[in-house]
Chains A and B, each alone.
Chain A
């Protein structure tokens, strides 16, 4: 059965800290891994990763994929209170005729001043 597991489930830090969120997966015919940030409503897209070892970066956020060990990490440096959100990891299997995403349970990040 395809699955995506995120850890930790919850994280509480102070502003300025650096955090690392983990996502491991087991899927058949992997196509891509995606990270989303969800604040109050709909998730917003952060990164799509398809190749191992290539870091994607956007400001203080970065992410990398390891297709051999089947995991990805999302790093946030110099955290701010605005980073408080649920971070969702999703995997897109590459099976024919399906574009379903398989989501993890998410990591709830709380950043305090």
Chain B
């Protein structure tokens, strides 16, 4: 089945630790995105990538890093510089050539111990 997968479902981070959230898609979409969701804030864009080996900062990129070495993969690292990482993280992808809407993965909930 085609779709977007995120792992893990839940992730616990200790103070000062970097953690990486996985996002994989087999939809052959060229663009991928990472959003963060906090209560009362809607979804906010962290990073996005429209082609392999290229990505741009979104609205709240500080404390995060990404890579796009393969078309189907767009991992997000939450670094120790992110002081308030507890949130629900959603990955999305889209086919920009066909101008389709974004499709979302199931999400990863990150909690700080």
Which positions in A face B, CB cutoff 8 Å?
Answer: 4, 9, 32, 34, 41-45, 48, 88, 90, 97, 99-101, 103-106
Contact = CB atoms under 8 A, between A and B. Distances in A.
Contacts of A48: 101
A41 B107 contact: yes
B75 interface: no
Interface of B: 31, 33, 35, 40-45, 48, 50, 58, 90, 94, 96, 101-107
A4 B45 CA distance: 14
Given A41-B107, A42-B90, A42-B107, A101 B102 contact: yes
A99 B48 CA distance: 9
Contacts of A103: 35, 42-44
A37 to B, nearest CB: 11
